[in-house]
Structure 1
Amino acid sequence: MKPLLPLLFLALLLSCNHSAQVNPKQQAVINAEPIEVPLQNGKARAYFASGCFWCVEAVYESVKGVDEAISGYAGGHTKNPTYEDSNTGRTGHAEAVEVIYDPKIVSFETLIDVYFASQDPTQVNGQGPDIGSQYRSIIFYQNKAQKNSILKKKTALEKKLGEPVAAEIYPFQKFWKAEDYHQDYERLHPENPYVQNVSIPRLNKFKRKMPEVLKENH
């Protein structure tokens, strides 16, 4: 009977893993119709998740045509998520940013290029030292045209790299703004060890890759 025990354990393990991965509430988010955010005072909004939102916020705020990037949470199935909730990995949310931009100056397609240029596109469930589903990479689309642009650029990058790109593609549903102390964190706390050792190097690496999109004071 001993040879059967490992097989039974393996079958049980696979069964449990399968059950853990299938979350009906999260699947409903993935399958939902996208919500399109209307222009406000001529400004559009786009949503991206790519590891720690302190890092991503700083990257997008360095780009010409971007008025502001706001840290928050998106992509999950719970309402009113907090930083503590998100860190459990059970909400489905990822740390994300809302990018407020002028589409006459910078296009959504360029924002996708910024997204991929400012991260390790092959890292699954995290960026750098930040590991977990709350740090996974997601690009949110608001309509079919945006989805097609994301798919086209992701496919091209996979072909260039010769390996899968980790970014998930979600229909945008809702952005939950993070707590006030997270906003503009890199700019306000340059002495923070994480900012010095992770955020600033990540920003500088991006700047070297896409100097043509940077604001003059960056």
Structure 2
Amino acid sequence: MKTLTLAAGCFWCLEAVYSMTRGVESVVSGYTGGHTPQPDYYSVCSGTTGHAEAMQVTFDPEVIPEDVILGIFFTTHDPTSLNRQGNDVGTQYRSAMFYRDEQEKEYFAAQIEKWQELFSRPIVTTLEPLGEFFPAEPVHQQFYDNNPGNGYCTFIIDPKVAKARRQWAEWVA
């Protein structure tokens, strides 16, 4: 198994897509990349902690290639939008890839370069060293599955799930 830590705006969106992806063992929403110990949802949303809403996706590379996991990442959010995804604004909603070592940093940089050709604007996804990852509160885990009638799920997440299913039909159920 391999685990990647990624941020793409609100963690509920990416968690929903990866939870439906073949070969993904687990998805955990949380916070990383900041300076505040033991952050919580409200402190992170304030924009003062430096943390991003992020998620850790654990997958079996024997079942799903790592470049597919990252392809889903780059195509289900706008990596050219600085500190913003839709109505979610602030550094806590930045597009970021958190690397564990120099090899992973180089791989992520190569992936940014590869996916850049799909976008007319520069990708602004940051490469940041992975510090401590703080799992989000239980209410934020499997949010999409547990709140199918929620307006955010209906208007924001459903279209992203539909797009992922179209673009990654072999992998996203």
Q: Do the structures match in fold with TM over 0.5?
A: yes
Q: CA RMSD in A?
A: 1.3
- How does the TM-score come out when normalised to structure 2? 0.94
Looking at structure 1, the residues matched to 25 and 118 of structure 2 have their Cα atoms a distance apart, in angstroms, of 31
Tell me the number of residue pairs that the alignment of Structure 1 and Structure 2 aligns.
173
- The answer to whether residue 26 in structure 2 is matched with residue 68 in structure 1 is yes
Pick closer, same or farther for the CA change 1:160–1:56 going to 2, 3 Å.
closer
- The answer to whether residue 167 in structure 2 is matched with residue 209 in structure 1 is yes
- The answer to whether residue 128 in structure 2 is matched with residue 193 in structure 1 is no
- The structure 1 residue matched to 2:8, chosen from 47, 50, 55, is 50
Contact 2:8/2:79 (8 A) holds in 1: no
Looking at structure 2, the residues matched to 144 and 107 of structure 1 have their Cα atoms a distance apart, in angstroms, of 20
The residue matched to 1:201 in structure 2 has which SS?
helix
- Deviation per residue, 1:137-175 (Å, 9 max, x gap): 111111222212211121233244232102111111121
Identify unmatched segments of 5+ residues in structure 2.
none
Looking at structure 2, the residues matched to 120 and 192 of structure 1 have their Cα atoms a distance apart, in angstroms, of 23
Pick closer, same or farther for the CA change 1:44–1:157 going to 2, 3 Å.
closer
Contact 1:109/1:149 (8 A) holds in 2: no
Looking at structure 1, the residues matched to 141 and 66 of structure 2 have their Cα atoms a distance apart, in angstroms, of 23
Looking at structure 2, the residues matched to 65 and 183 of structure 1 have their Cα atoms a distance apart, in angstroms, of 19
- Deviation per residue, 1:107-151 (Å, 9 max, x gap): 332221111011112111121121111111111111222212211
Looking at structure 1, the residues matched to 45 and 119 of structure 2 have their Cα atoms a distance apart, in angstroms, of 31
Between stretches 191-200 and 59-68, larger displacement belongs to 59-68
Between stretches 116-125 and 153-162, larger displacement belongs to 153-162
- The answer to whether residue 36 in structure 2 is matched with residue 83 in structure 1 is no
Q: Which has the higher strand share?
A: 2
Aligned pairs for 1:7-22 (under 5 A) are none
What letter corresponds to residue 114 of structure 1 in structure 2? I
- Deviation per residue, 1:175-217 (Å, 9 max, x gap): 1000011110101111001110001111111221111222xxx
What letter corresponds to residue 106 of structure 1 in structure 2? I
- How does the TM-score come out when normalised to structure 1? 0.75
Looking at structure 2, the residues matched to 144 and 211 of structure 1 have their Cα atoms a distance apart, in angstroms, of 32
Identify unmatched segments of 5+ residues in structure 1.
1-42
Structure 1 position 106, deviation (Å): 2.1
What letter corresponds to residue 47 of structure 2 in structure 1? G
What letter corresponds to residue 58 of structure 2 in structure 1? I
The residue matched to 2:170 in structure 1 has which SS?
helix
1:120 aligns to what? 78
1:167 aligns to what? 125
1:107 aligns to what? 65
Q: Which has the larger radius of gyration?
A: 1
